[in-house]
Chains A and B, each alone.
Chain A
Amino acid sequence: MALSSEIDSRDRGGPAQPLLIARELRKHFPVKGARGKSVQAVDGVSFTVRKGETLGIVGESGCGKSTLARLLLHLIIPDTGELVFDGEAVGVADGIAVNTLRRQVQMVFQDSYSSLNPRMPVRDSVAFGPFIQGRKKTEARDIARAILGKVGLDADLFGPRYPHELSGGQKQRVNIARALATDPRMVILDEPVSALDKSVEAQVLNLLRALKRQLNLTYVFISHDLNVVRYISDRVLVMYLGRIVELGPVSEIFERPFHPYTKALLASRPSMDPARRIEEPPIIGDPPNPIDPPSGCRFRTRCPFAEAVCESTAPVLGEWLDMQSHVAACHMQDPASGHSKAGQA
């Protein structure tokens, strides 16, 4: 099994071609008992994932991060929008099938316990993917052994155990092994370390970095923990209520955030320095109800700079050009928007 190779035989467009392009992905969940109403979980999200990068996705609970992750794997079918994987559209007649996509994209879930079958030895959980994709049972077991070794678990010692016999960190390692067993090119990590202790979190993050180098992986890393995202990501995408508010290289986002929401998020991080203690809440109130989001800019109800234009017109994300592009969906970024502070920030 060629887990690692300098040039991946499955690579089609070369390094310049994005691995995944999401265009105008939209998913509204109908609300039971309320005709015509729906939760606008993901509302017109477009972005690009480059080969070999780690794209961090941050946002509050309920902003659509997990729905977006599932849309990327077609675990949830988008209402509209399209996915292009390495130059080929997913799930359309002349593109690649969803199953082909799933051979190359895998996912690690947040809850390490419920993402493992409690009645299956973890070895079999890891071997399930290769087995489903046509390997013989013995072959699949060999793959599972090798992968468990790669994530730092002794396959002989831990393979035959059941999930309840492992610690949280060990289970999450098994989940990573399960995702890697089918030899994917891209892994979607949905809050993979949120449920872990800080020390274990660091171990798992380092493991993820090492595996990425070793196996030429591309990550989409979803988290609400800004420090974790800063540590692991190359670029960061900030979501608010189902829309992208800001996108840019990790250093840009953390040092020169454009969007008021991103600024508030960054300001909400607890500081290690007592002199920089946070006295005022950086952001007030709860996110609005995604069933009935505010008109125009969705952040305007909590934004200190909200003006009339924010209510009437939805800001668009600036044009994304290359990996260094730093764009935000805010009227203050657009000199022509009519916002009094436009162009100053």
Chain B
Amino acid sequence: MSDIALDKPAETFDEQAAPATQVRSYWQSVFYRLRHDPVTLFFAAIVLLVVLAAIFAPLIAPFDPYKESIIARLKPFGWKDHWLGTDELGRDMLSRLIYGGRVSLLMGVVPVLIASLVGGMLGVVGGFAGGRLNTAIMRTMDVFYAFPSVLLAVAIAGAMGGGIGNGMMALTLVFIPPMCRVAETATTQIRSLDYIEAARATGAGTFKVIRYHVLGNVLGPVFVYASSLVSVSILLASGLSFLGLGVRPPTPDWGLMLSTLRQSIYVVPFVCAAPGAVIFVTSISFNLVSDGLRAAMDVRM
């Protein structure tokens, strides 16, 4: 029984000085794997850049994002000091994009975060309990599923009125059912596995079994799905803003900018496309970073 598993990282064998007993802790090994994943590191840097730019917007933005100018409307890239041109009211695009990250990231991340917590919890409880409770929870979620997500968001935001807070609440409600379903599926899969039964056999109550044995295994799928929702959330938020239900002009927001500039697409096509490009880059970065994180956190890889 002395066969040593060969899938230990090669590093351990290089470091002869370290005793063989030195095994990295969980988070150390996650970090180790992340360090050796250039793709994830690259996109993590982009996410970090966007976040930092949003936080330190007043220090970075070259112009006041609200300053309008009749004579400087719809100028192309590089016009005077406006690197990314100006919008239909003559405001500096770069500054507005930097400031817009504040609202857009907030609208992208917060609803998904709350929805993962609430939906994830409902899904885990339903999946673990099974039976009637699960049916009650999942059928309730199915009612929300019946509406297209955009329609549902518009309906909820419309009923509650505009504004960032209501917009976020509407998005949260839209994301809870899919989140719940992902968590429920994952929980149902592991509920009947022997290690859950073994944990119960040691006398662990439902709460402790869930905390120590279920959550860790549900986290992966929930995390990946949540990160893919961030970009959806940004787009939905911009849709709400466009309808006057989310962010209100003149507050800069990527989605709102995209929709107000769309009429000028034949005048300054690249300027009009800029907010879209930013949304695209941000959302794909979120997706790839989450994918990399999941891979790094998966002990089986």
Contact = CB atoms under 8 A, between A and B. Distances in A.
Contacts of B278: none
B203 A109 contact: no
Contact count band on A:
35 or more
B200 interface: yes
A137 B208 CA distance: 14
Interface stretch (B4-12, B33-41, B180-188): B4-12
Contact of B200 (A75, A121, A161): A75
Interface stretch (A43-51, A56-64, A167-175): A167-175
Contacts of B194: 109-111, 114-115
Interface string A126-167: 001100110000000000000000001100110011101111
Output the residue of A114, A170, A182 with the most chain B CB within 10 A. A114
Nearest to A160: B23
A132 B300 contact: no
Contacts of B8: 165
Contact of B203 (A99, A115, A118, A161): A99
B202 A117 contact: no
Nearest to A190: B194
Contacts of A164: 299-300
B3 interface: yes
B197 A75 contact: yes
Given A102-B201, A111-B194, A132-B202, A119 B21 contact: no
A125 interface: yes
B4 A102 contact: no
A202 interface: no
B248 interface: no
A107 interface: yes
B151 interface: no
A167 B3 contact: yes
A102 B299 contact: no
A19 B16 CA distance: 52
Contacts of B198: 107, 109, 115, 175, 178-179
B213 to A, nearest CB: 5
A33 to B, nearest CB: 15
Contacts of B299: 118-119, 162, 164
A120 B26 CA distance: 9
Contacts of A157: 4, 20-21
Nearest to B212: A128
B59 interface: no
Interface string A61-81: 000000000100101000000
B159 interface: no
Contacts of A120: 212-213, 216
A165 B217 contact: no
Nearest to A106: B201
Interface in B215-261: 216-217
A165 B12 CA distance: 15
B193 A128 contact: no
Nearest to B298: A119
A178 B201 CA distance: 11
Nearest to B3: A167
Contacts of B216: 117, 119-120
A251 interface: no
B20 A156 contact: yes
A150 to B, nearest CB: 13
Given A102-B202, A132-B203, A133-B202, A203 B197 contact: no
Interface in B190-214: 193-195, 197-204, 208, 212-213
Contacts of B1: 152-153, 169-170, 173, 203
Contacts of A107: 197-198, 201
Given A109-B197, A153-B1, A162 B213 contact: no
A110 B195 CA distance: 11
A166 B195 contact: no
Contacts of A117: 195, 199, 212-213, 216-217
A305 B194 CA distance: 40
Contacts of B201: 73, 75, 102, 106-107
Given A115-B194, A132-B208, A166 B5 contact: yes
Contact of A102 (B3, B26, B195, B203): B203
Contact of B204 (A110, A132, A153, A178): A132
A160 B213 CA distance: 17
Contacts of B203: 99, 102-103, 129, 132-133, 182
Contacts of A125: 195
A161 B5 contact: yes
Interface in A165-214: 165-167, 169-170, 173, 175, 178-179, 182, 203
A170 B4 CA distance: 11
A116 interface: yes
Nearest to A178: B198
Given A107-B201, A157-B4, A165-B7, 12 more contacts: A73-B201, A102-B201, A102-B203, A106-B202, A109-B197, A111-B194, A117-B213, A119-B299, A128-B199, A157-B20, A165-B8, A179-B198
4 nearest A-B pairs in the assembled complex, by CB-CB distance? A115-B194, A129-B202, A160-B23, A156-B21
Interface of A: 70, 73, 75, 99, 102-103, 106-107, 109-111, 114-121, 125, 128-129, 132-133, 152-153, 156-157, 160-162, 164-167, 169-170, 173, 175, 178-179, 182, 203
Interface of B: 1, 3-5, 7-8, 20-21, 23, 26, 193-195, 197-204, 208, 212-213, 216-217, 299-300
12 contacts: A73-B201, A102-B202, A106-B202, A107-B197, A118-B217, A157-B20, A167-B3, A167-B5, A173-B1, A175-B198, A178-B198, A203-B1
